[in-house]
Amino acid sequence: MSAAPESPRIALRVGVYSPNARTREHVITAVGTTLHPDLPELALTELATGPAVLDKLDQNQIDVLILDGEAAPIGGLGLAKQIRDEYEPCPLLLVLIARQADRWLADWSRADATATLPVDAIELGTTMTELIRTRT
């Protein structure tokens, strides 16, 4: 008897928004393409501008969005709020914040989760895993 072939797993499309290339690099390195064996693989896309994020959303090409809360001129917190208000269905939103005092802003933006800047690979990986499990 042969085993049934495994059904292909569809990758989650993850957008990483920051105008800072180094921040995007840190996030991508921390998250990688596999968070946990029982979760789908991740297909990561770097997004350097707010309009690039909105373009990907308009094309329904993002399932999870990691936003740099320290970004300028378009901040990740304001962008998260805009996305939550304007897109249905809305992707999962994770905002990176540098100060715990900014947690209230993340709540205001209606982000699904937060992680700290500078990027802590263990924290970000754990937070992403928990976030994705809430949706799948």
Residue 5 lies in a domain: no
Check whether 10 has a pLDDT greater than 90. no
Residue 35 lies in a domain: yes
What is the residue range of 35's domain?
12-135
pLDDT at 136: 65
Residue 68 lies in a domain: yes
Check whether 1 has a pLDDT greater than 50. no
Mean pLDDT within 41-55: 98
pTM of the model: 0.92
Q: Are 68 and 117 in contact (CB under 8 A)?
A: yes
pLDDT-derived band at 135, boundaries 50, 70, 90: confident
Closest CA to 40 of 71, 65, 9: 9
Tally of structural domains, the chain: 1
Which CATH number do you get for residue 39?
3.40.50.2300
pLDDT at 45: 98
What is the C-alpha to C-alpha distance for residues 35 and 126, in angstroms, rounded to an integer?
8
Closest CA to 91 of 39, 124, 132: 132
What is the C-alpha to C-alpha distance for residues 110 and 98, in angstroms, rounded to an integer?
17
pLDDT-derived band at 9, boundaries 50, 70, 90: low
Question: What single DSSP character describes residue 44?
Answer: E
